[in-house]
Copies of this chain bind each other. A is one copy, B any other.
Amino acid sequence: MSPSNSSGGEALCRVAVLLFPGADILDFAGPLEIFSHASHNKNPDAPQPIFSAATAGRPGQTSIPTGHGTLLIQPQLSIRELLDTLSTFDVLVVPGGPLQVIQTVVGQEDGLELEVIKAFFKLGPKEGGGERIMLSVCTGAYLLGAAGVLRGLKVTTHHRALDGLKGVCDKDGIDSKTEVVGGQRFVDAGIVKDGLRIVTAGGVSSGLDATLHVVELVKDRDTANYVAGLTEYERRQV
């Protein structure tokens, strides 16, 4: 996992996906699907990828619930390795999960997951210039809120979790001035500080639309629409 260029010489946009036990499968598989099909040459038989994506999690396999079952995923990086190489990543994806899972992640004694979010927030522009993007899907926004990076921003999350997110952002009784809105597939809060954009998606499948938006930001609308067509996905704004 070293910074590298695609064969055509255009720099790859490097995506890190934070995994934790109990994360919702579509919250991270949706973005991975979209990133995997975004290519420079629009030839599905010989794509020239725009993104590379690496998963990062606690050591060992990460268990992802699938109803009365479990999917075991081996993250490519440990969270500590991600922290050590964080400045080489351009996009950070933070999936969600059931609230008890999110609470467990927030309550981790070593606080590594929140540390990744805080550290990515502080990075500044990409090496070589240009914005980085932090994307939460579903209740992944709670992790951003708990890390304190949503202050003063307009954001969204799963429709059942809107009030809860506001509470997470206003922790310790301090009004975060975070505006939590519903009824949208995603909210792009824009450039929230030098070199960083924050995009929050609504629930689960909304992550597909939010990721297509990221493709549009990193490349162009034509490419995002191409990926939507290839995956037979109809883009939605609401």
22 contacts between A and B (CB under 8 A): A12-B68, A25-B32, A25-B33, A26-B231, A29-B33, A32-B71, A36-B65, A36-B69, A44-B98, A45-B98, A45-B100, A49-B67, A52-B67, A52-B68, A53-B66, A53-B68, A53-B69, A70-B76, A72-B74, A159-B232, A204-B231, A204-B233
Task: Scan A1-32; emit 1 where CB is below 8 A from any B CB, else 0.
Answer: 00010100000100100000000111001101
A208 contacts the other chain (CB 8 A): yes
A158 contacts the other chain (CB 8 A): yes
Count identical subunits in the complex. Answer: 2
Number of interface residues of A (CB under 8 A): 57
Q: Is the CB of B231 within 8 A of A44?
A: no
Closest to A31 in B: B66
Q: A71 vs B93: C-alpha distance in the bound complex, in angstroms?
A: 15
Q: B-contacting residues of A (Cβ < 8 Å)?
A: 4, 6, 12, 15, 24-26, 29-30, 32-33, 35-39, 44-45, 47, 49-55, 61, 65-74, 76, 98-100, 158-160, 185, 202-206, 208, 230-234, 236
How many whole Å from A205's CB to the nearest CB in chain B?
4
How many whole Å from A74's CB to the nearest CB in chain B?
4
CB-CB < 8 A to A202: which residues of B? 232
Between A25, A67, A185, the greatest number of chain B beta carbons within 10 A of the residue's beta carbon is seen for A67
Top-3 shortest CB links A-B: A29-B29, A52-B68, A26-B33
A12-B68, A45-B100 known; 14 new pairs, CB 8 Å cut-off, are A24-B33, A25-B36, A32-B66, A32-B71, A36-B67, A39-B67, A49-B68, A51-B68, A52-B68, A55-B71, A70-B76, A71-B76, A205-B208, A205-B232
How many whole Å from A52's CB to the nearest CB in chain B?
4
Q: A76 vs B12: C-alpha distance in the bound complex, in angstroms?
A: 33
Q: A65 vs B205: C-alpha distance in the bound complex, in angstroms?
A: 20
Q: A169 vs B220: C-alpha distance in the bound complex, in angstroms?
A: 38
